[in-house]
Amino acid sequence: MEIGKGPAQTIESVTTYVQEQRKRSDAYLFGLFIDDTLRGTCRLHNITETGADIGIALFDKTIWGQGWGSRLITEITIIATTSLGCPRIKAGIEPTNLSSIHAFKKADFVFVKESEEISGNASWEA
């Protein structure tokens, strides 16, 4: 699904999503707060002894292009590798999402492969 192409989020749908994430033993949801306002999220999920998946959403367009995405990815990757002991962090990114690719590259992720089995069709790893 492309950003902005899915159903509109509501307070109720977001609250339900956050509550569902809190129940999971293999996931953490982090918020990006700037000036005491939630501007985006980053989720570690499918956490195992071999690694974890990472996903990011910056829903405040006024902060796009300012490096917040790569900073968030970097900090959450540090948490995943040091505090949680994840040896490998993976991100599935749509090949057409150039902004996301740039943010993950800046956070020292490298392209691994393209596959229909991968969410986003392209796998990037740190």
Span 98-121, pLDDT tens digits: 999 999 999 999 988 766 655 555
Question: Long-range contacts of range 29-33, CB-CB < 8 Å, 24 or more positions apart?
Answer: 30/72, 30/76, 30/79, 32/58, 32/68, 32/72
Band of pLDDT at residue 35, cut at 50, 70 and 90: very high
Checking if the pLDDT of 30 tops 90, the result is yes
Band of pLDDT at residue 25, cut at 50, 70 and 90: confident
Checking if the pLDDT of 44 tops 50, the result is yes
Pairing mode, if any, of strands 89-92 and 51-58?
A: parallel
Residue with more model confidence, 20 or 105: 105
CA distances from 112 to 46, 89, 99, 102 (A): 18, 12, 18, 15
Band of pLDDT at residue 1, cut at 50, 70 and 90: very low
Q: pTM of the full predicted structure?
A: 0.80
* All structural domains of the chain with their residue ranges: 11-125
Pairing mode, if any, of strands 37-48 and 28-34?
A: antiparallel
CA gap 34, 15 in Å, rounded: 20
Checking if the pLDDT of 3 tops 90, the result is no
* Domain 11-125 architecture: 3-Layer(aba) Sandwich (3.40)
pLDDT at 121: 59
Cα 70 to its chain centre, rounded Å, is 10
